[in-house]
Structures are given as C-alpha cells and as structure tokens.
Amino acid sequence: MRPRSPQSPILTSDFFLRSPEIVARDLLGKVLVHRRKGERLSGRIVEVEAYLGLDDPASHAFRGRTSANAVLFGPPGVAYVYFIYGMHYCVNISCLPEGEPGGVLLRALVPLEGIKTMARLRGLPENAKPQQLTGGPGKLCEALDITRATHNGIDVTKASSSLHIEDDGVHPENIEITPRIGLSKAKERPLRFLLKD
C-alpha cells in the first residue's frame, strides 16, 4: 500500500452514520491518527470487527444503555474505549444515528508514523515488526497511547480532535471476511474484516 498523503481529509460523521457492517469494511485502508505531544502516531487500519448493538449478544450494547457503554448509543463517529482482562484498552468507533447502538472495533494497524515512539510505548526495540507493535486491539491502543480516561467519548470526526481517522485515497479490494474471534457469544457471525496482504 502507498504511504499516507500529508494532508488527507478526516472521515465525517456521515461516514459512521451507516450500519457497522458497512462502516467496518469501508474503514479498511483508512489511517488512524493520534496527535500526541506534538507528534503524529498513525497506522493504516487492516483489521476490524463490526458489533450490531441490541441485535448482537457479543456487543457491549446488547443489554441496553449504561453509563459505561453510553457512547455506543450516542452520535456516530465517537470513540468508545474500554478496558479488558485488567490490562488492555480497546477502541471502537460508534455507528448509526444517535439512539441506535452499534460500533466497529479496530483490531490491527500497519504503523506509518511515529514508529519509534510506538515501540517505546510498547516496550519493544525500534526494529520491532508491525505485528508486534499494532497487531491486535490492545497492542494498537498501547502503541498509540489510547486510553479510556483520555479518549473515551472523543468525536473522531472533528479536525480539532487529537484522535481521528483520515482517508488518503487507499481503497483495498483484497478483503477477507471471517467470524469474529475471541468471543463466547455470536461468534459464528461473519463480522470480522481484514486485508489479506
């Protein structure tokens, strides 16, 4: 894939106003950016999973709105960050109109900018492989320093947001669709999308 253009447009709320299944597929190839302490940390999105809200037993929104999952019920294009296994953050982006819960989990990136900083944040050598840096939802949050305290509830569609997603014109076609992984419920649904290469 070609490198990121220096001034790429940020995805708007209309992009996330659609079904999580459609948004998930269309997020592949886009660039997640965290402006951190004057530096851009970024990576190309290569793996995602869709979560369908009230119709999806695996979704955090399945049992209804709570203070913890309220972001998923809010407007589209907002970061929902949660903590798992007592050690990892994961970041989702809300989809659908306000009041209709749904979201997309960002599962893996290919690092583009700030790779030395990512390696330091992950406690890895500077020459660590991309899979080691950002090859998993917890890894990518650690590498980009995304936390619940700082980023949960941030509107990623605003240019002023430190966390956003850019479209630099990459439109991958070699997409694989599989069941989601690491789940105990609704794990058979083909809602995981990834780039084969």
pLDDT digits (tens, 9 = 90+) for 35-79: 999 999 999 999 999 999 888 888 888 888 888 899 999 999 999
Tell me the two tokens of residue 71.
């972001």
Note the pTM of the prediction, 2 decimals: 0.93
CB atoms within 10 A of CB 23: 24
Q: pLDDT tens digits for 158-186?
A: 989 999 999 999 989 899 999 999 888 88
Q: What's the CA gap between 38 and 45, in Å, rounded?
A: 22
* Contact indicator for 153, 78 with CB cutoff of 8 Å: yes
How far is residue 120's CA from residue 92's CA, in Å, rounded to a whole number?
A: 24
- Domains, the chain, in order of start with CATH, read 17-195 (3.10.300.10)
Specify the pLDDT at position 123.
96
pLDDT over threshold 60, residue 2: no
Ranges 15-19, 155-159, 163-167, 187-191: which has the least confidence: 187-191
DSSP for the chain reads: -PPPPSSPPBPPTTGGGS-HHHHHHHHTT-EEEEEETTEEEEEEEEEEEEE-GGG-TTSTTTT---TTTHHHHS-SSBEEEEEETTTEEEEEEE-SSTTS--EEEEEEEEEEE-HHHHHHHHT--TT--HHHHHSSHHHHHHHTT--HHHHTT-BTTSTT-SEEEE--S-----EEEE--SS-SSSTTS--EEEE--
CA atoms within 13 A on the CB side of 133: 26
Q: How far apart are CA 106 and CA 79, in angstroms?
A: 10
**Dist CA 149 CA 126 (whole Å):** 27
21-25, 46-50, 101-105, 184-188, range with the lowest pLDDT: 184-188
| Residue in 139, 159, 141 with CA at minimum distance from that of residue 150 | 141
Reference 137, options 16, 43, 56; nearest CA is: 43
Which of 103, 99, 96 shows the shortest CA–CA distance to 82? 103
